[in-house]
Amino acid sequence: MTNLLELYVKLGGLVLVGFILGRKLPVTVPTRLGLFLFWVGVPISIVSFLRQSSLSGQIWIAPAIAYLAILLGAFLAWLAIKGQAYFRKTIPQPPTQASLILAAMLGNTGYLGFPITLAMVGKEYFAWALFYDLLGSFPGTYGLGVLLAAHFGGGVQNHSRLRLISRVWLVAIKYMLAIVGAISSVIGSGQLSNYMAELVRGKPSADVRVVIYSYSDRALILWLLTSPILSYTFLFIIKQTFSKNSNLPYWIGIITGILCLPYYLIPLLW
């Protein structure tokens, strides 16, 4: 209870500070700050907290619990609608029904769920909150939620709307595959290059309690040559397969490479 109260005091205080600064600073500052946090700050924070979390085999229960909660919320909202129709002889308008079902199904498990999880149970269980949101709430929101909105919405034929949603989903899946493929390609290329560098630099020899390898320079040069070549080759294949008209795989690969560079280079330089 104390942790939760402290969390909401901090959140309320930060919101108040943001409100005051938003009225004093130029209009472009909140937008740029929000974009920076969305594209840089939040991903780095997630990776940092994940490194300190426990990724046990039971963590896959989190998405299952998310789906169960979503379906249970939708079922209870449906019961409420049917109960109103039975007892009060009135039926809410379709948009109202959709709003009630969506509000019962979904919650802000990301931007509010993450800090609440950190405050309540600590960094060790942060991965549970991430898997709940990423593999549970996210598909529920942009999958089942969109279908419900299309079903209850008016003014446009449902079939046309569902076809549009299908096309949007196909595009989204293509870009998601491109992003995952780009990240995996850069990390895999670094690991493969690291393995080849380990073979080249030879056996270690201790000198004054410092481990010295016979061919450390050659290993470093080999890594610097092979890792970019392999990464570019895989990224080019991914771009031609999933996003011919976009350089998204290249940008994702560059960002991933910059973030992973210390992880690969420090062991080779040490």
Rounded to the nearest 5°, which phi and psi values hold at 209?
Answer: 60, 15
SS3 206: strand
Q: Are 256 and 263 in contact (CB under 8 A)?
A: no
Question: Encoding tokens for residue 58?
Answer: 């039971």
Question: Encoding tokens for residue 148?
Answer: 């419900």
Q: Are 97 and 84 in contact (CB under 8 A)?
A: no
Which pLDDT belongs to residue 57?
63
Cα gap 27→21, rounded to integer Å: 10
- CA angle, residues 253, 221, 196, in degrees to nearest 5: 75
Cα 76 to chain center, whole Å? 29
Question: Encoding tokens for residue 40?
Answer: 């840089």
Cα gap 72→53, rounded to integer Å: 29
Which pLDDT belongs to residue 263?
77
Which pLDDT belongs to residue 48?
74
Which pLDDT belongs to residue 79?
92
Cα gap 186→192, rounded to integer Å: 10
Structural domain spans, the chain: 59-155, 158-270
Q: Are 238 and 253 in contact (CB under 8 A)?
A: no
Burial of 265 (0-12, 13-18, 19+ CB in 10 A): middle
Residue type, 189: S
Q: Are 94 and 148 in contact (CB under 8 A)?
A: no
Q: Are 4 and 116 in contact (CB under 8 A)?
A: yes
Q: Going residue by residue through the chain (270 aa), what tens digit of pLDDT does each one get?
A: 566 677 778 778 888 888 888 888 888 888 888 888 777 777 777 777 777 776 666 777 888 888 888 889 889 998 999 998 888 888 888 888 888 888 888 887 877 788 788 778 777 788 888 888 877 887 777 777 777 776 776 555 555 666 666 677 667 777 777 888 888 888 888 888 877 877 776 665 555 454 455 556 777 788 788 888 888 888 888 888 777 777 888 888 888 888 888 877 776 666
- Of 6, 118, 133, 4, whose CA–CA distance to 63 is shortest? 133
